[in-house]
């Protein structure tokens, strides 16, 4: 199903259903006591329907849940296409992974009914809805039967109605990193709605995702050997990876000509440059190879057949230069240094966790333009000046500073 179709259904049908559920919950609450989170909770559900990279940003939240409720089974509800990362990171047991298929309207409706019935039968004690203003996720939090429902509220914001049946709601904070807000959803389980709880903890942005993927030295060595056989340029040259695709949001892409300029400079200095992405990015990679005009620039689009292989590729490289998206977040699970472009969205909210990454932003007046308040629909006319104004030569210089630094050094922040 097309993204725009999903948005329309969520907006119109979702608001209607949310109002019906709110009326029912409001009426039934007249003879029920307010829901309280049991300390000995047996089943906790996390609803996380967004892009795969958000799973990494939610890592600290999952760590907090396990620490506070060690006896509870953590269930995760995702879109079917995003489950690969959850399995790879072993976020929960296979039997506790639940999915819905959004590829078509009938499959989506059928999966919602099936999953809701299954979760109600389990006896879910509490649900955390990590989506910002999605009505379908709010309705799923009610349909699963959990008496305690933690999620975001728009408070007085007009036009973002998603009902009033979230029992432990916190205001969405557009000034705070999303990983911190996910942690606040865990706080709300115990304390009730926030920020009424004035004793809420003061936190810094987590230094890491608290997630990892185990690789043996032999496995990584074998992968490097295979990479060298398939692409001889990587045998004797240090490898820099470039992800130039924009994914489902093309406005997040740094200009192709800028990537070509950086790739040319890196090849000129004797580094191998690998162009990564999905098979759909192959045409873009071929255009970049033609512009770069060097045998040291190689096409790796479609080369990795899984997220696990992508992580092994990161282990084999020294630097990743990427648009905002999943690769920048997955890279934090490996030792690679990362440079990530932000513009339509901001690194202050969605920047990768950890110290091995640099966020590159221009900071022009209209940036960021994508937010929870406009459902990530930009008013940009396609001329994404927020990214075009990040010139390629300073990016190249900064990349070379890192590559020429002693092993283990962290790349300096922009302007340092």
Q: Per-residue pLDDT tens for 192-206?
A: 666 555 567 788 999
Whether the CB-CB separation of 267 and 296 falls below 8 Å is answered with yes
Note the pLDDT of residue 416: 42
288 shares its domain with 243: yes
Separation between Cα atoms, residue 114 and residue 329, nearest integer Å: 32
243 shares its domain with 179: no
224 shares its domain with 126: no
Range of the domain at 379: 217-403
Whether the CB-CB separation of 253 and 380 falls below 8 Å is answered with no
148 shares its domain with 222: no
Separation between Cα atoms, residue 158 and residue 155, nearest integer Å: 9
234 shares its domain with 141: no
Q: Residue 170: inside a domain, yes or no?
A: yes
127 shares its domain with 233: no
Q: Residue 378: inside a domain, yes or no?
A: yes
> By three-state DSSP, how is residue 100 classified?
strand
Upstream peptide bond of 195 is cis (omega within 30 degrees of 0): yes
Strand partners of residue 77: 47, 98
Separation between Cα atoms, residue 33 and residue 404, nearest integer Å: 64
Q: Residue 210: inside a domain, yes or no?
A: no
Domain end residue (candidates: 146, 174, 191): 191
91 shares its domain with 234: no
Q: Residue 66: inside a domain, yes or no?
A: yes
Separation between Cα atoms, residue 265 and residue 68, nearest integer Å: 50
8 shares its domain with 71: yes
Note the pLDDT of residue 8: 85
Q: Phi/psi at 384 (nearest 5 deg)?
A: -75, 80
Note the pLDDT of residue 264: 97
Q: What is the CA radius of gyration of the chain?
A: 22
Whether the CB-CB separation of 203 and 180 falls below 8 Å is answered with yes
Q: Which residues, other chains included, contact 412 with Cβ-Cβ below 8 Å and sequence gap of 6+?
A: 358, 398, 401, 402
Separation between Cα atoms, residue 39 and residue 61, nearest integer Å: 17
pTM above 0.85, yes or no: yes
CA 143 to chain centroid: 25
Q: Residue 212: inside a domain, yes or no?
A: no
Q: Residue 198: inside a domain, yes or no?
A: no
| CATH code of the domain containing 260 | 3.40.50.2000
For the chain, the distance separating the N- and C-terminal CA atoms, rounded to the nearest angstrom, is: 45
Q: Residue 165: inside a domain, yes or no?
A: yes
Whether the CB-CB separation of 219 and 225 falls below 8 Å is answered with no
Scanning 200-301, the segments in alpha helix (DSSP H) are 217-230, 233-236, 256-268, 282-292
Q: Residue 395: inside a domain, yes or no?
A: yes
Query: How many domains are there within the chain?
Result: 2
Maximum alpha-carbon separation in the chain: 74
Domain end residue (candidates: 137, 157, 191): 191
Note the pLDDT of residue 10: 87
Listed as ranges, residues in the chain with pLDDT below 50 are 415-416
Query: Which of the 8 DSSP states describes residue 97?
Result: E
258 shares its domain with 361: yes
95 shares its domain with 155: yes
Separation between Cα atoms, residue 24 and residue 15, nearest integer Å: 14
Residue that has been written with the tokens 């999605």 in this structure: 134
244 shares its domain with 119: no
173 shares its domain with 235: no
Note the pLDDT of residue 412: 55
């Amino acid at each position: 199903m097309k993204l725009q179709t999903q948005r329309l259904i969520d907006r119109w049908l979702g608001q209607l259903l949310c109002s019906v559920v709110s009326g029912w919950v409001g009426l039934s609450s007249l003879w029920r006591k307010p829901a309280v989170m049991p300390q000995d909770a047996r089943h906790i559900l996390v609803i996380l329907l967004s892009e795969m990279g958000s799973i990494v940003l939610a890592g600290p939240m999952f760590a907090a849940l396990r620490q506070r409720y060690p006896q509870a089974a953590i269930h995760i509800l995702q879109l079917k296409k995003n489950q690969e990362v959850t399995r790879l990171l072993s976020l929960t047991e296979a039997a506790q992974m639940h999915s819905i298929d959004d590829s078509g309207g009938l499959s989506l409706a059928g999966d919602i009914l099936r999953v809701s019935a299954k979760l109600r039968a389990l006896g879910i004690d509490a649900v955390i809805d990590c989506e910002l203003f999605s009505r379908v996720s709010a309705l799923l939090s009610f349909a699963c039967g959990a008496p305690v429902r933690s999620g975001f509220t728009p408070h007085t914001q007009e036009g973002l109605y998603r009902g009033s049946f979230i029992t432990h709601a916190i205001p969405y904070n557009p000034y705070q990193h999303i990983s911190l807000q996910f942690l606040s959803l865990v706080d709300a389980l115990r304390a009730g709605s926030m920020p009424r709880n004035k004793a809420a903890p003061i936190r810094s942005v987590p230094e890491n995702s608290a997630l990892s993927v185990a690789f043996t030295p032999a496995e990584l060595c074998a992968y490097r050997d295979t990479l060298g056989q398939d692409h001889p340029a990587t045998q004797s040259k240090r490898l820099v990876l470039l992800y130039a695709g924009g994914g489902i949001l093309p406005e997040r892409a740094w200009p192709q000509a800028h990537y070509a300029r950086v790739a040319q400079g890196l090849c000129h200095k004797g580094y191998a440059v690998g162009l990564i992405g999905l098979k759909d990015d192959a045409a873009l990679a071929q255009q970049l190879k033609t512009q770069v005009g060097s045998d040291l620039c190689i096409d790796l689009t479609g080369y990795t057949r899984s997220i696990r292989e992508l992580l092994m590729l990161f282990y084999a490289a020294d630097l990743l230069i990427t648009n905002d998206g999943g690769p920048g977040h997955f890279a934090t699970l490996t030792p690679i240094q990362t440079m990530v472009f932000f513009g339509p969205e901001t690194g202050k909210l969605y920047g990768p966790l950890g110290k091995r990454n640099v966020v590159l932003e221009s900071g022009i007046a209209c940036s960021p333009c994508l937010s929870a308040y406009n459902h990530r629909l930009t008013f940009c006319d396609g001329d994404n000046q927020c990214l075009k104004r990040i010139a390629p030569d300073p990016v190249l210089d900064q990349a070379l500073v890192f590559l020429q630094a002693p092993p283990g050094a962290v790349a300096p922040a922009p302007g340092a």
